[in-house]
Amino acid sequence: MKIRQIIEVMERLAPPRFAEEWDRIGLQIGDAEADAQKVVVALTPSLDVLNEATARGAGMVVSHHPLIFKPLASLTGSTPAERLAAGFVKADVALFAAHTNLDNAPGGINDSLAECLGLTNIQPLAASRAPMKKIVVFVPEENLEQVAAAMCAAGAGRIGAYRDCTFRVKGTGTFTAMAHADPHIGRRGKLQHVAEVRLESIVPAEDVADVSAAIRESHPYEEPAFDIYPLENRRVEGGPGRWGVLDEPVKASDFIAEVSKKLGARGISYVGDADRQVSKVAVCGGAGADLYQDALRHGCQAYVTGDVKYHTFLDARDDGLILIDAGHAETELPGVRVLHKRLGSAISDIEVVLSKDEGRSINVL
């Protein structure tokens, strides 16, 4: 497959719109038009991952963490990032990063972590609110259903758990085809009155171009008339962290032990009452300690994340939250494993392998 084709699949699994503004995602090294016979999925692009990719004959690494986060001033090998970037170039291995977009997207890092820990009724912890548009097109009655179906197939008409949502009002459209026109209805130079339907639907801002193209392709008119309106309302979609409920309340100490077991954590730090009953839990893979107030806002008794600082531990304890640091890599690896399976299912024409390097490079005694 072309690397470009693999990127197209990745951008469906982790749409770029879910990335934080400060993030660095996408193809970081390599030629999108080059071929890849094999893909390695990894948590972090490291020298071990690069060596594994070359040994396996892989032409591409898909990693969660970016390699190039700050601009590289040179490729002289004066820093670890420069040396590793140069190594990818020399080995002709492409590097693609799906970072906060994979964190925040449905089915990504945080959903995987929540499911791994047995949560149900999973919801975004700090939901993203994506901009919406309304698109209105005027269609002859006999062509209404084909245009509506094309619009919805291109991304229009989705509201929460519902799809194919449209509104329709009958009316009369008028036009006069000029000398160079090729009208679908009527004759040039004569004012036409046509029974039409005003067809309108809501559409995510990033899908407006696709829906507009679908209208032009499915509409019988040479120049279909349609309007696009900005909306104040926004859809809730994905976002950092997740929260959910356990099937049955458990004692916090038992829940912490289960977290350690399920995540393969080599060490866990926590604050809070270990004898307290826990039924509602928040999670955020990687470094998500700054969201602990969101966990409290949703009524969670416990919050599982990584990279928690000392004073954040103390603040969370004083606010009555059981804050659990299970490790940065440990809280993200369930999502990387799920990504490996999803990517492998989506591009079955080539081999997709999970890296043996789990990114747990910090020793714990």
pLDDT at 161: 67
pLDDT at 232: 87
Q: What is the pLDDT of residues 4-25, one digit of tens each?
A: 999 999 999 999 989 998 999 9
**Which residues lie below 8 Å from residue 317, measured CB to CB, with a gap of 6+?**
271, 272, 323
| Range 136-157 burial, b when 16+ CB lie within 10 A, else e | ebbbbeebbeebbebbbebbbb
Q: What share of the chain is helix, strand, coil (3-state, %, to 5)?
A: 35, 30, 35
Query: Given pLDDT bands bounded at 50, 70 and 90, which one contains residue 352?
Result: very high
pLDDT at 327: 96
pLDDT at 220: 94
pLDDT at 185: 81
Which CATH number is 3-99+332-354's, of 3.20.20.30, 3.40.1390.30, 3.40.50.300, 3.30.930.10? 3.40.1390.30
In percent, the amount of the chain with pLDDT more than 70 equals: 99
Most confident of 97-111, 153-167, 221-235: 97-111
Whether the per-residue pLDDT at 281 is higher than 80: the answer is yes
Query: Given pLDDT bands bounded at 50, 70 and 90, which one contains residue 364?
Result: confident
CA distances from 238 to 40, 108, 124, 308, 313 (A): 26, 9, 6, 23, 26
Q: How many residues does the chain have?
A: 365
pLDDT at 242: 97
Give the whole-angstrom CA distance, residue 161 versus residue 150: 20
Task: Please state which of the ranges 58-62, 190-194, 233-237, 292-296 shows the lowest mean pLDDT.
Answer: 233-237
pLDDT at 184: 81
**Which residues lie below 8 Å from residue 303, measured CB to CB, with a gap of 6+?**
281, 282, 283, 284, 291, 292, 295, 316, 321, 322, 323, 324
The boundaries of every CATH 3.30.70.120 domain in the chain are 129-236
In percent, the amount of the chain with pLDDT more than 90 equals: 81
Q: What is the pLDDT of residues 157-180, one digit of tens each?
A: 988 768 899 999 999 989 898 888
- Topology (CATH) of 109-127+240-325: 3.40.1390
The whole-number average pLDDT for the span 334-350 is: 96
Q: What is the pLDDT of residues 126-150, one digit of tens each?
A: 877 778 899 999 999 999 999 999 9
Query: Given pLDDT bands bounded at 50, 70 and 90, which one contains residue 219?
Result: very high
The boundaries of every CATH 3.40.1390.30 domain in the chain are 3-99+332-354, 109-127+240-325
- Residue pair 362/140 in contact (Cβ under 8 Å)? The answer is no
Query: Given pLDDT bands bounded at 50, 70 and 90, which one contains residue 1?
Result: very high
Supply angle C-alpha 345, 347, 352, rounded to 5: 80
What φ, ψ does residue 314 adopt, rounded to 5°?
Answer: -65, -40
Question: In the numeric block, which tokens belong to residue 342?
Answer: 């999803």
Which of 316-321's residues contact partners 24+ apart within 8 Å by CB, and which partners? Answer: 316/271, 316/272, 316/292, 317/271, 317/272, 319/292, 319/293, 320/272, 320/296, 321/272, 321/292, 321/295, 321/296
Q: Considering only CA atoms, which of 207, 31, 7 is closest in space to residue 101?
A: 7
Q: What is the pLDDT of residues 227-258, one digit of tens each?
A: 999 998 877 778 899 999 999 999 999 999 99
Q: What is the pLDDT of residues 30-82, one digit of tens each?
A: 999 999 999 999 999 999 999 999 999 999 999 999 999 988 988 899 999 99
What φ, ψ does residue 206 adopt, rounded to 5°?
Answer: -75, -10
- Residue pair 116/262 in contact (Cβ under 8 Å)? The answer is yes
pLDDT at 158: 87
Rg (CA), the chain: 25
Q: Considering only CA atoms, which of 98, 207, 114 is closest in space to residue 156?
A: 207
CATH of domain 129-236: 3.30.70.120
Written as one letter, the residue type at 150 is A
Whether the per-residue pLDDT at 270 is higher than 90: the answer is yes
Mean pLDDT of the chain: 94
